[in-house]
Amino acid sequence: MAGPARGLGKSSDSTVVVLLGTGMPRPDPSASGPATAVVVGKRLFLVDAGSGVERQLAAAGLPINGPEATFITHLHSDHTLGYPDLILTSWVMGRSRPLAVFGPPGLRWMTNHILAGYREDIRVRTDGLEHERAAGLAVSVHEVRPGMVYDSAGVRVTAIAVSHGSWPWSFGYRFDTPGRVVVISGDTRPSAALARAAAGADVLVHEVYAAATLRPESRPGGRDWPRYMHSFHTSDVELGHLAADARPGLLILTHIIRAGASDSTLLAGVRSGGFGGRVVVGHDLGRY
């Protein structure tokens, strides 16, 4: 359940999930770009870097000088618009070690071009009166495949290949920590692999759209949103089926595509899919 605690965990094995951004591509002042923090004791791990990620870290009372590791689910813009922010702002705010980032093929190309695009900013900050250290700007990119991608001091992270429309690579991630097992879906249509990885997990953080309120665009040539969502995303009812199989201790809805739906409509959809366990509709800066 959501708790009032701020900042990093108090004990070395406590694990807290913090929703930094629960939004989607449509700008919403109440829902920042997709990003989730997994806090293990005093260690910060980040999944995705949507718009406003550094401001949301600050709002949550979490470090702004770089997480221990960042995991990118896929390279859709809404999940990576905050990636330049993460690289550059954490450096300006005192990061002195390489930023460790794990994600799909293409991540290294993206990273190199971000750094190239900001070369004048970097030059002024390093050669000018700010005296920033160029070594602190380094990014250590790991392009991953399904399987264990991180294993350090009791925290293991496994990448799960999921299906997200026409994207060749999209991942969910499972965190095995001393305190809890946390699974984060990334963007995906219903995934049997993800359901297996989430079986018995303490927390499943999963994307969702509201099936009951979704309609095609009415304008001539408008987008067929139901068809698109069926290929790229998971409906509330489909998520109910998946969670009923996986039986997580807590299901958290995120990357919420409401199409006008209320929290109660989303929860009713999940229940109609057969999940009777604990479920909450995620909101920015919620802690669980």
- pLDDT tens-place string over residues 6-22: 556 666 679 999 999 99
What pLDDT shows up at residue 5?
A: 40
CB count, 10 Å around CB of 98? 14
pLDDT band at 53 (very low <50, low <70, confident <90, very high): very high
Compute the distance between CA of residue 56 and CA of residue 49 in angstroms, rounded to an integer.
10
pLDDT exceeds cutoff 70 at 237: yes
Residues 6+ apart with CB under 8 A from 71: 45, 46, 47, 48, 101, 102, 103, 149, 150, 157, 159, 171, 173
The per-residue pLDDT of the chain, averaged, comes to 94
Q: Spell out a b/e string for 23-45, using b for 16 or more CB atoms within 10 Å of the CB, else e.
A: bbeeeeeebbbbbbbbbbbebbb
Query: Is 78 noted as a catalytic residue in this protein?
Result: yes
- pLDDT tens-place string over residues 197-214: 999 999 999 999 999 998
From 48, 78, 187, 284, active-site residue: 78
Burial (CB count within 10 angstroms: exposed 0-12, middle 13-18, buried 19+), residue 106: middle
Sign of CA dihedral 120, 82, 46, 89: positive
Ramachandran sector of residue 249 (left: φ over 0; alpha: ψ -120 to 50; beta: rest): alpha
Compute the distance between CA of residue 34 and CA of residue 75 in angstroms, rounded to an integer.
12
What pLDDT shows up at residue 223?
A: 81
Compute the distance between CA of residue 87 and CA of residue 259 in angstroms, rounded to an integer.
33
pLDDT exceeds cutoff 60 at 138: yes
What pLDDT shows up at residue 271?
A: 98
Domains in the chain: boundaries: 1-176, 189-282
pLDDT exceeds cutoff 50 at 1: no
Give the orientation angle of helix 107-117 with respect to helix 83-92, to 10 degrees. Answer: 60
**Yes or no: domain 1-176 corresponds to CATH 3.60.15.10:** yes
- pLDDT tens-place string over residues 30-42: 999 999 999 999 9
Q: What is the pTM of this model?
A: 0.95
Which of 187, 172, 146, 174 lies closest to 33 in space, CA to CA?
A: 187
Compute the distance between CA of residue 156 and CA of residue 154 in angstroms, rounded to an integer.
6
Fold that domain 189-282 belongs to in CATH: Metallo-beta-lactamase; Chain A (3.60.15)
Check if 1-176 and 189-282 are the same fold.
yes
Contact 245, 195 (CB under 8 A): yes
